[in-house]
Structure 1
């Protein structure tokens, strides 16, 4: 049995309990089977999953688009191609490569550059690793930084995690799936299986019920031997499963409030348990819980085209998926002293207003929008979204501490230019904003060169699990060989943006953060004689920009190329990209 029926009652009924217990029994048997598979056999299994995901890509992307209220032909339907099947296919390809190396007796980091990073850290240059990525995503690079004190030798020795000891079972885990991005539940299941040798009971969020048949088809190769079971249900099902004696581990993607309810319980009893440090949950838990993400705009001498491009860049960080993202940029940090401050704000207002309209579809988003409007009655209402520009007399606290998870973007200002601004902005992001999941930094090449080592020191001081320089941290999410999760330090008592990491297709141990670097200017302004020393890219406008005219077609085309490797299809897609 792959899925059970939905339950919204406070307690599940007898038949549902029997079905859930049966699914867990199947997984207990499946865990034993998994521990008897060689790594080479696991590669064969992953290839079968990949073939099914590729065959399911159309249904996956279209079902997700329809469920989010995006009708056929809507310019933002491409989001569901990239954040669904494209992300999953990329992860499968990367895991297959890692496990193939292990099966062949090679190290997962063979031919991968490993060197030193600031502060006694080791750095793995984890992206790009394929010729296709070097071409299509030229200008983008990704690094995984390990915790201070871990040496390059130790990194290589530990790479592979549980696949180094495939016979050691991780038992049965519960994955409480995210409700916003359709690849997250699948990617979490894959990470549990490959990083921890743990089979999974996946409880999908009710917002993704329509995707269950797609998941069942795409993941049939995991379901049939008992490595995965998928169930529907609300809080009652979740409560029953987290307490189940045969579930050995829980992983959740969601909110800190839900995490606390699972660990401590609800209402007064939960608060009392927390004070007394008596958690209701008696088993290990990992979590990815979001936060309030900063966008630091480093002042420099920007052209009009630079201003326009990065205003649209920031609008994308907030408005992709209607702001229903754990990694949506929420607080722009500007220099009060920047000569182009007002020009940039004008461009940002324009970009934020002109982005295509779409539903705010995630449950509770209407109340959060009302909360933001109440917190900031003078905010600019631009169609279905709010832009909050914090003035001298405004209280910034709600904006800095509330993850609105809706189309609400704020702007705050700090004093200074150059290194003074960068240091003040990093301090503001570290000390004032809730959470540590991801931070974005926009800086022109000339200013970055002028800052020199001071800029690298500031990036090192930025305490976030994912950092994007001239890119959006969602690029790190979608890149499987990078890692995803909060900056280390979260506990059940103070979880912040979560505990642990996912993705991590190189299966690295001791991860601290991932850093993405992208091109400041798009093509053709990225050409060497125009870019001012910046990075070259072939993309005139990335397809994930909400302002991309051909984003839907390009995102679908890139997914099909990922699935089939068709060069002729790729050429057509690149022509569409040039029209973005």
Structure 2
């Protein structure tokens, strides 16, 4: 046995893969932009034929029956996201090859605080119809001008000849498109080949990934491997690794960077990380759902309660950006009515087993920490206050906490933002629900509150998970985390336009689904979203959206709209 605990022949295979990737990175460095674009188009073409198998294997991992509407989650978070990312990458590199900008198709405008906002959804007439009522903007760091944004867009993709070496991508085990998309971003944005070590939960997806990304495997730009902690330890210390990217927990990140136990204490005190190469990361956190009090109709209470339930229960709660702490106003007359609808939504949504390793222990600890926890259809709802463990422990499980702060209007919003910023761990995503007329009444105070929220993705009347799916938007923590205090991580991925110096993504959606949206003065034709657990046609919609992403056309929009309006 080797010192790392893996057999020598396994280490030999990993070392050989790193050597092949180093050669591949050198070939990529010499490859002209038009050649890179053609290769990325090959990747896009390779994903569609294995989409069905991708979904089948991912659903089996999660214990989803073939006929379940929940399989729609796997279409949208798996091959659909991968196809969208490959297309976005190819478009950006094609634009650079023509001598243009990666910002082609995106609109630049102004965001609060003198920021530049880049609109990344919608970017076409078809997107306007497909996501009618939704918009996604990328806010750049304060002080970045529109001219700078255009000049700096492209990142390292513009540096033909630059070799970024080999990246170790430590893949997540909850959403099946995360690991391959991380590797794709390293290649396009930073000229790095990647060895992707899959989380053991997705070990069975390895053949699917290798088929979907066969052009990159063929060119020595991606290698996909399975293995446990010993393989990860070997790879993080291999001299051929130039960079590490991890999607996972802060605990795992810190063990890689600082070690564990006494070693970690000593290294932190001395400022001497055991990891000697750069690392970027996406590490989750405790996501708030802020409900701005107002006068809501009965249908609004029911729909938005289901919205909150979806944020918590999507993927059985095993999401890094699942809504975990609901922030309500203690002075909202409809607070109890909303909580009653939330309980009803938890009870109404299909029962579903948890599947992620370690969930039982996390749920048990959450229940032990909250003697008053309410069990609703196999899920838990708990009331908390400041300093509660739910504020700092990411449950990654079907446990929803709620709290209340005083005030209405701007007073409440300021208090809720302060609670989210100061009490909750992490800065990955925050959600805000507000009736459109109340948002208009708040005016600049609402914009100021969004600016004050220190989160990498902020969703207004939408779920931050949509920010993950819109691959032209950067995905990651709010800037400012460090190796010493890692929070939700460092750096971003996705970022299809290859924007530099991004601060946050802002997703805006309709407060009501069609037709109630139009009847109440909202300009939105979007029905109940297919990612809602109660969307009966979710699987058919997810499949149709994946087929559209494989070959976008007006003709392929029709089945999407047909299935979506049956939700």
TM > 0.5 between the two? yes
Q: Distance in 2 between matches of 1:309 and 1:495?
A: 36
CA displacement 1:389-432 (0-9 Å, x = unmatched): 23xxx675101110000001011000000000001000100000
Matched, 1:409 2:400: yes
Which residue is 1:105 aligned to? 99
Q: 1:262 aligns with which of 256, 267, 270?
A: 256
The TM-score normalised by the length of structure 1 is: 0.96
The TM-score normalised by the length of structure 2 is: 0.98
Matched, 1:551 2:545: no
Compute the RMSD of aligned alpha carbons. Answer: 1.5
Contact 1:9–1:236 (Cα < 8 Å) also in 2: no
Distance 1:568 1:146, change over 3 A: closer
CA-CA distance at 1:574 after TM superposition: 2.1
CA-CA distance at 1:556 after TM superposition: 1.5
Matched, 1:128 2:110: no
Distance 1:566 1:159, change over 3 A: closer
Matched, 1:59 2:53: yes
* Unmatched tracts of structure 2, length 5 or more: none
Q: 1:420 aligns with which of 407, 411, 414?
A: 411
Residues 559-568 or 315-324, more deviating: 559-568
Contact 2:126–2:554 (Cα < 8 Å) also in 1: no
Q: 2:484 aligns with which of 486, 493, 508?
A: 493
Contact 1:69–1:358 (Cα < 8 Å) also in 2: no
**Aligned-partner SS, 1:119:** helix
Contact 1:437–1:466 (Cα < 8 Å) also in 2: yes
Q: Distance in 1 between matches of 2:308 and 2:322?
A: 10
Q: Distance in 2 between matches of 1:467 and 1:288?
A: 16
Which residue is 1:244 aligned to? 238
CA-CA distance at 1:374 after TM superposition: 0.3
Which residue is 1:298 aligned to? 292
Residues 84-93 or 380-389, more deviating: 380-389
CA displacement 1:209-229 (0-9 Å, x = unmatched): 010000010111000110111
CA displacement 1:515-573 (0-9 Å, x = unmatched): 0001111100121xx223x3413x32000001111112211121122223465554233
Q: Distance in 2 between matches of 1:553 and 1:389?
A: 37
Q: Distance in 1 between matches of 2:99 and 2:32?
A: 12
Which residue is 1:472 aligned to? 463
* Unmatched tracts of structure 1, length 5 or more: 1-6
Contact 2:257–2:274 (Cα < 8 Å) also in 1: yes
Contact 2:132–2:524 (Cα < 8 Å) also in 1: yes
Q: 2:169 aligns with which of 167, 175, 199?
A: 175
Q: Distance in 1 between matches of 2:482 and 2:344?
A: 41
Q: Distance in 1 between matches of 2:2 and 2:59?
A: 25
Q: Distance in 2 between matches of 1:338 and 1:161?
A: 47
Q: 2:432 aligns with which of 441, 453, 456?
A: 441
Which residue is 1:3 aligned to? none
Contact 2:4–2:233 (Cα < 8 Å) also in 1: no
CA-CA distance at 1:271 after TM superposition: 2.3
Matched, 1:536 2:536: no
Alignment size in residue pairs: 567
Q: 2:516 aligns with which of 525, 532, 542?
A: 525
CA-CA distance at 1:200 after TM superposition: 0.5
Which residue is 1:336 aligned to? 330
Matched, 1:579 2:551: no
